[in-house]
Structure 1
Amino acid sequence: MPKAVQREFGFALHLAQIGTRHPGAKVLKGFGSAGVLEVVEDFATDTYRAVYTVRFSEAVFVLHCFKKKSTKGSETPKPDMELIRKRLDDARRLAERA
């Protein structure tokens, strides 16, 4: 992942930690609430995404960061959505233990 993209994602996560939202952050569809967000960054001819959750007061959990490879418009590919769901469940379990 290019350094410029990493910096922007890091800034978005910092804002989430202090209780605000990155201007480019939007709710990821399919999760029922504003608790799962994504930031999309373009670099050269590629698109990168960072998906995180602010559902738990204990921490901001990064669920997935990836280079979008799908040619189906802006839709998040099904394997990535499944991985995000699994990691959200893992985050929920971790938050319950804290």
Structure 2
Amino acid sequence: MKPIAFRGSALADLRSFPQSAMREAGYQLDRVQHGLAPSDCKPMPSIGAGVTELRIWDEAGTFRVVYIAKLAEAVYVLHCFQKKTQQTAKRDIELARARLKELMKEIAP
């Protein structure tokens, strides 16, 4: 099982989700840690190769957890947020992209 590593404010952002959405995110991330596919996800090549968006549909709204699991060391959670529109906000994509870039510098200097 791979450990989970949260980047930037991702853990605090995840903890701000409603209880039911946070629990579902935890369950789905546990599946990813064990090498299984989450129930509802899609690739996010606009952020980077191997980046996936976990989609959580909750009565309180729509939530997203952006992560990369292809690296050997851990499942890296780049960004967690509530989605308010059909399209992912540019600032959310840019924040996840910046955290991925920073991560790649750290693990492969």
Report the TM range for the smaller structure's normalisation: 0.7 to 0.9
1:24 aligns with 2:40: yes
Name the SS for the 1:4 alignment partner: helix
Residue identity opposite 1:18 in structure 2: H
> How many correspondences in the alignment?
93
Map of 1:1-98 to 2, 5 A cutoff? 1-31=17-47, 33=49, 35-70=50-85, 73=86, 75-96=87-108
How far does residue 89 in structure 1 lie from its aligned partner after superposition?
Answer: 1.0
- CA RMSD, aligned part only? 1.7
Gaps of 5+ in 1: none
Question: Post-superposition, which runs of at least 4 consecutive aligned residues in structure 1 deviate over 3 A?
Answer: none
C-alpha distance in structure 2 between counterparts of 1:89 and 1:25, whole Å = 22
Question: Does the residue aligned with 1:7 lie in a helix, a strand or coil?
Answer: helix
1:30-83 CA-partner distances (Å, limit 9, x unpaired): 1464x111111122252111110013110100011101123xx2x211000000
In structure 2, how many angstroms separate the alpha carbons of the residues matched to 1:52 and 1:94?
16
Partner Cα distance (2:47, 2:84) in 1: 22
Q: Distance in 2 between matches of 1:94 and 1:21?
A: 26
User: RCO higher in 1 or 2 (8 Å CA, sep ≥ 6)?
Assistant: 2
Consecutive unaligned residues in structure 2, runs of 5 or more:
1-16
2 CA distance for matches of 1:6 and 1:36? Answer: 20
Determine if contact 1:56/1:95 at 8 Å carries over to the other structure.
no
TM-score norm. by structure 1 comes to 0.82
